[in-house]
Chain A
Amino acid sequence: MTVNLTINGQAIQARAGQTILQAARAAGIHIPVLCEHPALPPDGACRICLVEIEKQRTLQPACTFPATEGLIIQTHSPRVVEARKFTLELLISDHPLDCMTCEATGDCALQDLAYEYEIKESRYKGKQHNYPLDASNPFIQVERNKCILCRRCVRACSHINGVEAISVFYRGFNAYIGFGADGAMQDSSCEFCGSCVAVCPTGALWPKMSIGKGRPWQVRQVETICSYCGVGCKLSLHVRDNQIIRVEGANGPANHGWTCVKGRFGWDYVHHPDRLLKPRVRRYLLDGLQKPDIRELRVESSRDKTNLDSLVSNLWEWVETDWDTALDITAKKLGEIRDTHGSDSIGVLTSAKCLNEENYLMNKFTRQVIGTNNIDHCARL
């Protein structure tokens, strides 16, 4: 069923059950929002989306007001603009204006609105909060002074991840967001999925590992698939100077923009100093000698006094080499073993972490080049 309404003199149709905001969006009419998020149930907390409706005594929030037959609405009347400016000034009156160094600059809904409504400072010089910075968990920095109490994080934790770790404690000026029974995030039911960070409109909740790493306009975003579990979340990697600096959930069919703690915060292994940089071969291979009996190494190390100068240790030490040397040694060895002991004497473990294309080649390598069906991977493990 459709209903007819008029927004800014333009006649539009909406589906029954839609809010004014949803109807306006569908018609391409801009109404500014702050606490509203398309993936979350509306809350009507921030009063930024107020609109003027004929025959309504007061301004009404577009995010919760149902679109009904015959409504005549103004989204930017002088009364509406005045009210929005008033709301923004109140918000700014208790918000640090440190945009120059704030992580959220360029990615902050409050900053965008202040710009849109030309709010440079607040006339209301009241008390300001001075909460300590909470950086006690490894993933999410909590800067309550930047919180505007929009409750997006509260709704994301309840509605998206479902664990209800975040709530608003106390009322009025004393209200703040807290975790569990008002303790640390890591002591609550939080699973660090980071959905709260994803929806936070300001810099109140911020990924700790991305702090100081770059501004939104300095990064290149690349959409790819997560490397951890089999759900297949689409991720957006934010890259600056050949380094991943942040990861966000992207809108893929399996995850719809959300992801988990490993997807969002577990990517730094990619840049870990332990990464192998060059091929390595054991010394005996370079010297063209017989493979030492490495069981002796185990016996030695269990004897407490390891004789590092032993012959076995020498022959078994890693030597970094170039690709040609490593590949030729490997190909020769595999070829010899195949020709000596037969194709079925070689086993191949392909990888559930690698690409389809790479797994296909491992299958072709095993069957065509080696001539065996001895190929498997960790599906059983």
Chain B
Amino acid sequence: MSNSIEDIAGDAQAFFVIGSNTTEQHPIIGMRLRQAVKQRGAILIVADPRRIPLTDFASLHLRHKPGTDIALLNGLMYLILKNGWEDKEFITSRTEGFDEFKATVMQYPPEKVSEITGVPLADLEQAAKIMGATKPMAVLWAMGITQHITGVRNVMTLANLQMLLGNMGVAGGGVNPLRGQNNVQGACDMGGLPNVFPAYQPVTSPEVIAKFGTAWGLKVEGLKVDSESKESDNLQPFDKLRASSATFQLSNRVGMTVTEMIPGILEGKTHALYILGEDPVMSDADTNHLRRCLEECDFIVLQELFENETAAYADVLLPGIAFAEKSGTFTNTERRVQMVRKAVEPPGEAREDWWITAELAKRILAHSGWQTCPERSRRVADGPYAGWDYHDTAQIMAEINALAPSYEGITHARLERGETLQWPCPNAGHPGTPILHVGKFTRGLGKFTSIEHIPPAELPDDEYPMVLSTGRVLYHWHGGQMSRRSKGLLEIYPQPLIEVNEEDAEKLGLNPSTGSGQVETKHVRVTSRRGSIAAEAWVTERVPPGMVYANFHFPQASVNELTIAALDPVSKIPEFKVCAVKVEVVE
């Protein structure tokens, strides 16, 4: 999020929530939105194909067709520009690329946009009018925007909108993606991405490679560094690189994303996976294909709380520990780093996840070169942060402080003193940064991007006539490994439900209530080109006619059996939110 929950909840005069089922997926932010609407009359516009609970509190619900976000947003910006409601001062002083962008947007008149999106003309006009007249407006989104083949383009279009309206760098405005997992922000910040080291330092930068190479440098003990020697010729290319260079070399090739490394198994690219606290069988697209990949992997080590669905394919299962059993930090969706504290001892022999990783590292380093040169090659710490002897997470944080500039001032000691720090926090006296892009963008001028509407990868046809979209529900969490093991959550939502519109239910002959002596039929089978699931239908106005919606909380009918692994070309995110299916009643 460019902004903080507090300034959005307190200062936004309008909210534009698109592709976020906020009250179910970020309930406390949803709570704050409802408070702002009810208590101070803030205006809420929701854009979502589904009638999510938040729409009950919205002034306007733009119910656009799935995968038409760019057309919708360009159409709104067309109307803002046509009526002169843009923030001319902001555009002139803080942005570039406006003219080209404007030329693209002016190709999206309301009639055309209404046809693409299915949103009535009057609603488009009203939404544009509210956006033009109500400042500041905060934009909030989640996976409904990003999980498309146009995910990155959708986000850039929202950035265009907020720059056009001058809503950047102000309290109550901003571009605010709501991060899903408790520490997904932190996992990204800490370099859990294939293209960046911690704090988004690119792996392709020679300076960054040199920095981490020095910090983490290892030397190989007992090996003569002599490129002419015979011993050196026998080395694998990888070891040769290590051995021949005085400085430690890190890879400067961008790595594979999760959506590339698992399919990479069948292509012979990936031979082993080390998976920490994740369940790809439940959470990745196109489960059937994913299973085939995992079956062929040479070696999978899984570090988890439970024997999850992916464990069936794992060679080693290492017992990690839960949040209540460990101390350290999580970073929330507003870049706020907060202390996690141990409350209970872990069960059995389960160990801290950081201890397990460090032990593996030490053992691999101590025995490197098993196959090539078993008698030599022990890699030992050389750089100041090369070693793996950690005694607690505060020590690890000190290493993060030294290497990740935006976390430099965020220490356990400060957090334990009660300071609440949002990165960037570049030094020990810095108070943190609640709002980004104040007065200046990171890159200097904000860049308008010209973006055209592209339809989803798989649209309905005669054989698969309906659209399927996916997501989670209030009472469960992602692949369900935690929430299905919570007695109350399972009791209130005990089985997967597939949302079907009333009109479709009637056409299909669904008859969930046994009122008039007819045979009760309440289960549906949903089939895509990739798989098929059957589950109870929830006949509801939440989905529009022609669309069904299902979740991935239950292995017996996970929607990811059906989803398509069509990827956004930049972010490599799968298009979970749109694919084509057929729906039949199960007698």
Please list the residues of chain A having a beta carbon within 8 angstroms of any beta carbon in chain B.
Answer: 137-139, 158-163, 186, 191-193, 208-209, 220, 222-234, 237, 239, 242-244, 252-255, 258-262, 265-272, 274-282, 285, 291, 294-295, 298, 318, 322-323, 326-381
Contacts and interface: CB of A to CB of B under 8 A. Distances in A.
Interface stretch (B76-84, B344-352, B541-549): B344-352
A269 B26 contact: no
B186 A362 contact: no
A335 B182 contact: no
7 contacts: A231-B29, A266-B482, A269-B486, A327-B359, A338-B364, A351-B353, A381-B258
B572 A380 contact: yes
A291 B315 contact: yes
A369 B386 CA distance: 10
Taking residues whose C-beta sits less than 8 angstroms from the other chain, chain B's interface range is 35 or more
Contact of B183 (A268, A282, A335, A353): A353
Contacts of B349: 277-279, 322-323
Secondary structure at the A interface, as helix, strand, loop or mixed, is mixed
B363 interface: yes
Interface string B309-333: 0000101111110111110111111
A232 B330 contact: yes
B258 A376 contact: yes
Nearest to A293: B295
Contacts of B572: 380
Contact of B328 (A223, A318, A339, A355): A355
B487 interface: yes
A355 B319 contact: no
Interface in B348-388: 348-354, 356-361, 363-365, 367-372, 386
A224 B460 CA distance: 46
Given A277-B349, A335-B367, A347-B262, 7 more contacts: A222-B342, A224-B340, A258-B31, A277-B348, A330-B363, A334-B364, A377-B187
Contact of B194 (A322, A341, A354, A374): A374
A265 B305 CA distance: 19
Given A259-B28, A270-B322, A362-B276, A350 B192 contact: yes
A230 B344 contact: no
Contact of A341 (B179, B271, B337): B271
Given A242-B344, A347-B272, A357-B396, A327 B363 contact: yes
A359 B182 contact: no
B485 A272 contact: yes
Contacts of B325: 270
A201 B485 CA distance: 31
Interface in B216-257: 216, 218, 236-239, 242, 250-251, 253-257
Contacts of B274: 334, 346-349, 365
A79 B399 CA distance: 65
Contacts, number: 504
B182 A332 contact: no
A139 B330 CA distance: 27
Contacts of A360: 190-191, 198, 396, 399-400, 404
A295 B295 CA distance: 6
A277 B347 contact: yes
Contacts of A365: 274, 357, 360-361
Nearest to B142: A230
A228 B477 CA distance: 7
Interface in B125-171: none
B298 to A, nearest CB: 6
A343 B238 contact: yes
Nearest to A266: B486
B25 interface: yes
B245 to A, nearest CB: 12
Given A278-B319, A357-B400, A380-B574, A186 B357 contact: no
Interface in B1-51: 5-6, 23, 25-29, 31, 34-35, 37-39
A256 B231 CA distance: 64
Given A193-B31, A344-B251, A371-B238, A265 B372 contact: no
Given A191-B474, A285-B315, A355 B353 contact: yes
Among B192, B259, B353, the most chain A Cβ lie within 10 Å of the Cβ of: B192
A225 B5 CA distance: 16
Contacts of B583: none
Nearest to B367: A335
Q: Give 3 nearest A-B pairs by CB, closest first.
A: A277-B348, A232-B332, A373-B255
A287 to B, nearest CB: 13
B413 interface: no
Given A279-B319, A355-B326, A375 B485 contact: no
A232 B328 CA distance: 14
A301 to B, nearest CB: 11
Contacts of A366: 255
Contacts of B352: 358
Contact of B283 (A267, A274, A318, A378): A378
B55 interface: no
Contact of B250 (A244, A349, A371): A371
Given A227-B323, A232-B333, A266 B489 contact: yes
Nearest to B188: A379
B192 A137 contact: no
Among A268, A270, A338, the most chain B Cβ lie within 10 Å of the Cβ of: A270
A191 B27 CA distance: 9
Given A269-B322, A376-B258, A380-B573, A354 B183 contact: yes
A373 B371 contact: no
B322 to A, nearest CB: 5
B31 A162 contact: yes
B98 interface: no
